[in-house]
Structure 1
Amino acid sequence: MWTRKHKKKISLFFLPPYTPQHNPDEYLNNDLKRNVNRKHIPLTKSELQGNLKSYLRTLQNNPEHIKRLFQAKEVKYAA
């Protein structure tokens, strides 16, 4: 198993079944929901897709923004 082979390099944290406050993905999801349509409210599915791709490109070019999502006390374990 990969985890056993690399146990000196990693730490595993087991979370309860549904704890969004401890899930780093939820911080990214919330950021995306808050910001994806900030510049332009979509009226069609293709506009929504365009907004999404544009915002994801912005995130891709801004690793510091992603790092800040991991500064919350509840998800620092994942940083």
Structure 2
Amino acid sequence: MPYAPQSNPDEYLNRDFKTQLRSANRCRTRDGLLGKAAAFMQFLISNTEWVKSYLQHDSVLYAA
């Protein structure tokens, strides 16, 4: 399925997640990748404003 945040708003989170996993310190092991993924999810838990920003896009406002 193509990238289509207008049809599937969770694509905004997926984009940020994948970008974080591909960022500067690339992981060479499965455990390293899992750790990086868990760190990003912890970041989201502690940064509610970041999560709210996913819901502020024009294509998502219809759900408010």
Whether the TM-score (by the shorter chain) exceeds 0.5 is: yes
For residues 24 and 43 of structure 2, the distance between their equivalents in structure 1, rounded to whole angstroms, comes to: 13
Q: Which residue in 2 is equivalent to 1:14?
A: none
Deviation string, structure 1 residues 40-68 (Cα, Å, up to 9, x no partner): 21001110000000110000110100111
Query: 1:50 maps to which residue?
Result: 35
Structure 1's unaligned 5+ residue stretches are 1-17
Whichever residue aligns with residue 21 of structure 1, its letter is P
Match of 2:52 among 67, 70, 77: 67
> What is the DSSP-based 3-state SS (H/G/I as helix, E as strand, rest coil) of the residue aligned with 1:66?
helix
Residues 40 and 51 in structure 1, CA contact (< 8 A), matched pair in contact too: no
Tell me: CA distance 1:60–1:39, structure 2 relative to 1, closer, same or farther (3 Å).
Answer: farther
CA contact (8 A) 1:24 1:78 kept: no
Residue matched to 1:21: 5
* SS of alignment partner, residue 74 of structure 1: coil
Structure 1 residue 76, shift from structure 2 partner: 1.5
Distance 1:19 1:76 in 2: 19
Q: Root-mean-square deviation (CA), in Å? A: 2.0
Provide the identity percentage: 34
